[in-house]
Structure 1
């Protein structure tokens, strides 16, 4: 488990959400906030996050949409404990279950209106490994992406929605993992600045959906062609999400 000296106290949503994160392990940044903003959840619905880490995505979603029934599955006990503590610290309800998505714990073997995930970005065997084992496990794939998608689809209720944030290079793998049970698939490229290629995408798909596939115009995070000075330069739309906790409602499901 993490000790007090192993953690940093980080603010999200303009400081309205305070989260303990490991100083040297996996640390959430903007990706889980954008994922949470994309989820079209309504009060009273059920949400499962696969690989919830310290709980940032689920807690951002809970901050925006009251009355949700949120569950998180986390493989690493130290991160699961952090997620529980972060939920309690912010007065938000999140049930965290420790376990492996390939052997879904019994407590989570029921249907959810939404399943969300920020799967590991890097495939097994490629690139340089992280020195911290928790960060390495969070960022590098041990369980194939296809099994993340399969676990999510199994847990979705009819008409339920899957929401993923992925590296753009993993999009073909994610799309190929969606079978005939899923449809009405939408992809939103996330562009750091105008004119740059998208390095991240948000993918949504509905269980039992029948609408055609849609590729949306990119969502741009920063203004200007390059970083200038000591400021974040977020576009107004990005600032509305990252600072104000707003929804990302750019034609998604």
Structure 2
């Protein structure tokens, strides 16, 4: 990720995938996209050519990352914060994103909206894949006076994964995919919330270093798939004794390889 010359006091325009696409995001408040968003984008197969929805998209980094990686993908960014919706629209409108703008759209809505409201905004079972990075931190662990950052990072209640995955299940067609990134301690909640709707779960642990515990898991599953779980080979993010990304992590985070190898 790098900054462009268009940075202003209140926001930056940041390059992802080594300049393949750009994201406008707040400079000093709210959530700023980085490695998590790129790992989530990389969880979608490289050959994906359908319609994808990025639930709780923020400024749109993960969803636009899919549009960048998959040239036949169409992406809808769904976000509830008016400020972040404005950033998502600004991101799509950037001249540097002209090649993905026609395949990208923004919907202002809450992921936890009632079914009637959801049907009025987006057609149920009309998407081939959904991706999400729900707020998974506790208020005690991540106290912040910034309401925009708190909304993006702090879990409102224990039902977040249940409600977000129920919305995804209503929007994704049978046989379609779902990808979720979270901290490892949320894994049990994610799998439990998936079971009524999604099967064939694949779990990819992300380790900062080979000798450290995992800091993230990416869980991928299929709508209506069989009740089975597989553990994918882990990804080690950094080279030994260095802050540099490993060769594999660099390729994945810069859009040159997929997280699950497909």
Q: Normalised by the size of structure 1, how large is the TM-score?
A: 0.89
SS at match of 2:170: helix
Q: Does 1:13 align with 2:17?
A: yes
* CA 203–43 in structure 1, closer or farther in 2 if over 3 Å, else same: closer
C-alpha distance after superposition, 1:193-212 (max 9, x if no partner): 11111010000111121262
Name the structure 1 match of 2:244.
233
Matches within 5 A, 1:21-36: 21-24=25-28, 25-36=30-41
Name the structure 2 match of 1:203.
219
| 5+ long unaligned stretches in structure 2 | 1-6
Structure 2 Cα separation of the partners of residues 195 and 58 of structure 1: 32
| 5+ long unaligned stretches in structure 1 | none
* CA 69–235 in structure 1, closer or farther in 2 if over 3 Å, else same: same
With 74-83 and 84-93 compared, the bigger mean Cα shift is at 84-93
* CA 129–174 in structure 1, closer or farther in 2 if over 3 Å, else same: same
SS at match of 1:70: strand
* CA 183–128 in structure 1, closer or farther in 2 if over 3 Å, else same: closer
* Stretches (4+) displaced over 6 A: none
Structure 1 Cα separation of the partners of residues 165 and 31 of structure 2: 22
C-alpha distance after superposition, 1:79-127 (max 9, x if no partner): 111111111211223211111122253221322110110111213x432
Name the structure 2 match of 1:173.
189
SS at match of 1:5: coil
SS at match of 2:19: coil
Structure 1 Cα separation of the partners of residues 147 and 92 of structure 2: 24
Q: Does 1:96 align with 2:96?
A: no
Matches within 5 A, 1:130-149: 130-142=144-156, 144-149=160-165
Q: Normalised by the size of structure 2, how large is the TM-score?
A: 0.86
> Which of 127, 135, 142 in structure 1 is aligned with 2:141?
127
Matches within 5 A, 1:28-177: 28-40=33-45, 42=47, 44-89=49-94, 90-91=97-98, 92=100, 93-103=103-113, 104-105=117-118, 106-111=120-125, 112-123=127-138, 125-142=139-156, 144-177=160-193
Name the structure 2 match of 1:192.
208
Name the structure 1 match of 2:258.
247
Q: Is the 8 A contact 2:46 2:69 kept in 1?
A: no
SS at match of 1:100: coil
CA RMSD of aligned residues (A): 1.9
C-alpha distance after superposition, 1:52-90 (max 9, x if no partner): 000000111101101212111101011111111111211
